Amino acid sequence: MTATVPVRTPTRAADRQELSTRLLGSAARTSYDPTVDVDWDAPVPDALYGLSPEWSSLYGTPLWEGLTEQQRVTLTIHEYCSISGVGIWFECLLMQLVLKDVYGDDPSQPHVQWALTEIADECRHSVMFARTAQTFGAPSYQPPSSILRLGKAFAARGSGPAAYAAILVAEEILDIFQRDLMRDERVQPLTRRTSQIHVVEEARHMRFARDEVARRAPRLTWLGRRQHRTVVASVAAIVADNLVQPQVYASVGLDPQEAKAVARSNEAYRAKLRDASSGLVAFLREVGLIGGPSELLWKRAGLL
Ligand SMILES: [Fe+2]
Ligand SMILES: [Fe+2]
């Protein structure tokens, strides 16, 4: 099947070089160096959560009700470190995808310079998240080795609209999450500062990724579209399920596997993830990257 199926694209792609030039200008005006723009020596207050309690994967469950206030603080700190630790994993993958995408292009072109700027942002973010876990005294949470292997294969083979859509999945879910945290006075200053830095810089990444998806998705063949839909849905399911690693629950004496099962069926948490991905889902639907059998994967992941 080689015929291209026309897809309505209300999100029209902007001119790639013009957009890249604008993004480069914005990055020149507002970028951060977390090694000096975060106060790493500030004390970690005892009474503040690691993330907004409503964002805890156990919020509203009997397990949550059974925790003391201090345990809730500890759990939410570990959950933030897990989500940002999984963020490091994903950033390491997306840096490879972006670099591969512009490899061999003329570096005098703004889109190449933008791609390199985005990768530089992600390098700083990953160091920032690594130091956040260290400062909170949490381990370096990562997905299990089976998922690490899958990610490596995706970084090697992923390309085209699915690659940029996969990047968007992680960036947009984290964006909504971190916008909540940076405004929440019940949350640790370190969480709020790292969230704010990430939100500002990621807004540019999301703009670029949306544009790449909107430009490329309409060119897919029928078969290509089906394949890209499956890839994006699988990435979304894996990212959503892996944000909070089971070992975080051990930090408050809960059984990791038992608590993970409770989190997976926690409707309050699922609703948070669903809300956070609603803008992304609407966009991917508009460009034809959600639809057909792939819907089932999105539903099973609790994101639809
Ligand atoms: Fe990032
Ligand atoms: Fe990013």
CA-nearest of 152, 164, 169 to 297 is 169
How far, in Å, is the centroid of ligand 2 from the Cα of 175?
Answer: 10
Handedness of CA 56, 245, 135, 64 (dihedral sign): positive
Each residue of 200-232: pLDDT tens digit? 999 999 999 999 999 999 999 999 999 999 999
CA of 128 to the centre of ligand 1 (A): 10
Q: Which of 9, 2, 18 is nearest to 289 (CA)?
A: 9
Ligand nearest to the CA of 168: 2
Span from the CA of 4 to the centroid of ligand 1 (angstroms): 34
12 confidence band (pLDDT: 50, 70, 90) = low
Residue among 132, 121, 122, 141 at smallest CA distance from 40: 132
- Indicate if the pLDDT at residue 9 is higher than 70: no
Residues 82, 86: Cα–Cα separation, whole Å: 6
Do 203 and 175 form a contact (C-beta atoms < 8 A)? yes
User: Six-digit token pair at 203?
Assistant: 């807004």
Q: Which amino acid is at 219?
A: R
Instruction: Compute, in angstroms, the gap from residue 296 CA to the centroid of ligand 2.
Output: 27
Helix (H, G, I), strand (E, B), or coil: what is residue 187? strand
Torsional class of 60: left (φ above 0), alpha (ψ -120 to 50), beta (otherwise): left
Residue 149 pLDDT greater than 80, yes or no: yes
Closest ligand to Cα 195: 1
Q: What is the model's pLDDT at position 3?
A: 37
Residues 6+ apart with CB under 8 A from 92: 126, 155
Distance between Cα 187 and ligand 2 center (Å)? 23
CA–centroid distance, 204 to ligand 2, in Å, is 8
Cα–Cα separations (whole angstroms), residue 14 to 51, 106, 143, 209, 210: 36, 20, 36, 12, 10
Closest ligand to C-alpha of residue 86 is 1
**What is the mean pLDDT of the segment spanning 171-193?**
97
User: Are 171 and 90 in contact, with CB atoms under 8 Å apart?
Assistant: no
Give Cβ neighbours of residue 268 (< 8 Å, ≥ 6 apart): 54, 59, 60, 61
CA of 122 to the centre of ligand 2 (A): 6
Domains of the chain: 16-300 (1.10.620.20)
Mean pLDDT value of segment 5-34: 81
Percentage of the chain modeled with pLDDT above 90 = 94
Q: What is the CB neighbour count within 10 angstroms for residue 97?
A: 18
C-alpha–C-alpha distance, residues 149 and 9, integer Å: 34
Residue, of 3 and 26, whose pLDDT is higher: 26
Give the pLDDT band of residue 14 (cuts 50, 70, 90). Answer: confident
Nearest bound ligand to the CA of residue 124: 1
For ligand 2, the distance from its centroid to the CA atom of residue 79, given in whole angstroms, is 20
**96-145 pLDDT per residue, tens:** 999 999 999 999 999 999 999 999 999 999 999 999 999 999 999 999 99
pLDDT of residue 11: 55
Please report the sign of the dihedral spanned by the C-alpha atoms of residue 41, residue 46, residue 51, residue 52: negative
Give the tens place of pLDDT for each residue, 44-101: 999 999 999 999 999 999 999 999 999 999 999 999 999 999 999 999 999 999 999 9
The pTM assigned to this predicted structure is 0.93
